[in-house]
């Protein structure tokens, strides 16, 4: 059994709609994250049994759960939508882990809600397994992220231009509160609701914050760290809309996300990002833009308007130096260097060479440990000149190995795992999952998963989970 304590469901009715998940035909467990279950204090044996699978599929609502769909708004590719909300997800409730930390338990793909906007509220197995793999890799690398507790097949067909096998993902987060949650109430002029939401977020995530401006500062600082970590892994979120930015600082909503193979700062994978708004190099600037929207929401709670605008603007401007410091630290670690070393010029020289020669992002950094990085370059003399300057800084081998994964969830490998899963073969998914959740572990039987894609394997576009 799971014991729920549902603080968000105790907020006023306008924050959510009460809705139960829609039962599915034939629930079958595809994957259970036993390590995460242990972290949450949950019984993995119960979760994998009939009662647990029924709950994970949405066929049974356990005692104490209060299923809701959260309301929020959002800027989507710069255009504001005043009502979005959980259109295919239901928050069952919150659990308190043995160490006292509070986590949301949410079912994605659990059927329609009042926010579905004519959608079916379902998910197919592809995006469910993609999020399962990618979010758990991010966790393994220390990136703040939502996590995957379970994936369950529904025994039903989901129609996305063709019939595809349905699935439900059980997502775990420190909360699902977004910048768009604040926007939902701000656009309606509901200052009492904004104040209640602010108090809730402070209590849940930032207990040292002292009021709305302090909350803004805390969110900005945490987002600066998260985005810098994305950049250091070559991760591209794909849909950095304000409704996809969690105020907890966790990475949320893995839709058309991807990791770069060949490095270029303008890399985009998402099929819906035709203008490159959310390209790899644009992510820090988009984070600032999103945080400015949060600041705008909080200004009415900060007292005299002109002074509030000045203070909030100053806070948003603080993102840049915080991010730059985090970036230098992350890339310094990738070079095996401390912040005291000459990190930025060395990193920028290396990235420029990589972009010019289309060198593989992950293999270059991982190859710094064993000397194989130069093999990723066409003009090795240029790399050797850089490497002499780098070696003169006395890089730390242990720091190099810790900061640089040997394997990432490469796009073509994810697609292969999904294609096999559609036929009922979960072997490639399980192998890939095991390999990328032990990203620093050298094993000969995983060596092929570290390879860059051949030309015919390159994935040029990824797609939204809906």
346 vs 397: CA distance, rounded Å: 17
Radius of gyration of the chain (CA): 22
Residue 234 in tokens: 């070559």
Active site positions, annotated: 243
Would you call 268 helix, strand, or coil by DSSP? coil
Give the start-end residues of each E strand in 14-84.
16-18, 28-32, 68-70, 74-76, 79-81
Q: Which two tokens stand for residue 93?
A: 């409730």
CB 73 within 8 A of CB 183: yes
CA 70 vs CA 59, 115, 231, 324: distances in Å: 20, 9, 30, 34
Least Cα distance to 347 among 263, 278, 223, 410 occurs for 263
How far apart (Å, rounded) are the C-alpha atoms in residues 99 and 14? Answer: 31
The CA-based angle 170-175-180, given to 5 degrees, is: 110
- Residue appearing with tokens 């968000």: 8
CA distance 66 to 251: 25
Measuring CA to CA, which residue among 360, 447, 456, 376 is closest to residue 415?
A: 456
How many CA within 13 A on the CB side of residue 404? Answer: 27
């Amino acid at each position: 059994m799971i014991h729920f304590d549902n603080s968000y469901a105790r907020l006023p009715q306008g924050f959510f709609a009460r809705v139960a998940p829609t039962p599915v035909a034939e629930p079958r467990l595809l994957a259970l994250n036993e390590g995460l279950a242990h972290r949450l204090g949950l019984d993995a044996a119960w979760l994998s049994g009939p009662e647990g699978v029924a709950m994970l599929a949405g066929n049974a609502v356990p005692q104490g759960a209060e299923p809701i769909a959260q309301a929020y708004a959002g800027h989507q590719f710069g255009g504001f939508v005043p009502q979005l909300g959980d259109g295919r997800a239901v928050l069952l409730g919150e659990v308190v882990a043995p160490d006292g930390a509070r986590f949301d338990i949410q079912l994605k793909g659990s059927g329609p809600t009042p926010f579905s906007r004519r959608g079916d509220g379902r998910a197919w197995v592809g995006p469910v397994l993609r999020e399962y793999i990618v979010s758990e890799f991010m966790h393994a690398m220390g990136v703040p992220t939502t996590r995957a507790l379970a994936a369950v097949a529904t025994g039903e067909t989901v129609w996305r231009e063709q019939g595809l096998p349905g699935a439900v993902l059980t997502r775990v987060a420190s909360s699902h509160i977004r910048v768009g949650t604040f926007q939902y109430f701000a656009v309606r002029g509901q200052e009492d609701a904004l104040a209640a939401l602010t108090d809730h977020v402070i209590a849940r995530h930032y207990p040292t914050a002292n009021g709305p401006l302090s909350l803004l500062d805390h969110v900005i600082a945490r987002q600066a760290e998260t985005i810098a970590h994305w950049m250091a892994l070559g991760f591209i979120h794909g849909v950095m809309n304000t409704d996809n930015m969690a105020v907890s600082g966790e990475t949320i909503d893995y839709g058309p996300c991807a990791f770069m193979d060949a490095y270029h700062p303008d890399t985009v994978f998402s099929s819906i990002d035709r203008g490159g708004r959310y390209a790899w190099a644009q992510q820090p600037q988009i984070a600032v833009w999103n945080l400015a929207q949060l600041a705008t929401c909080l200004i009415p709670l900060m007292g005299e308007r002109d002074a509030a605008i000045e203070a909030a603007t100053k806070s948003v401007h603080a993102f840049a130096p915080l991010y730059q410091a985090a970036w230098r630290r992350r890339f310094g670690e990738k070079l095996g260097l401390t912040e005291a070393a000459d990190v930025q010029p060395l990193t920028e020289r290396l990235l420029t060479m990589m972009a010019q020669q289309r060198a593989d992002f992950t293999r270059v950094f991982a190859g710094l440990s064993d000397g194989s990085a130069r093999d990723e370059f066409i003009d090795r003399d240029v790399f050797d000149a850089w490497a002499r300057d780098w070696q003169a800084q006395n890089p730390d081998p242990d720091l190099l190995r810790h900061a640089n994964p040997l394997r990432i969830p490469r796009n073509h490998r994810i697609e292969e795992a999904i294609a096999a899963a559609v036929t009922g073969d979960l072997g490639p998914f399980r192998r890939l999952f095991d390999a990328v959740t032990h990203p620093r572990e050298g094993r000969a039987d995983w060596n092929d998963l570290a390879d860059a894609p051949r030309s015919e394997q390159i994935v040029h576009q990824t797609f939204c989970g809906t």
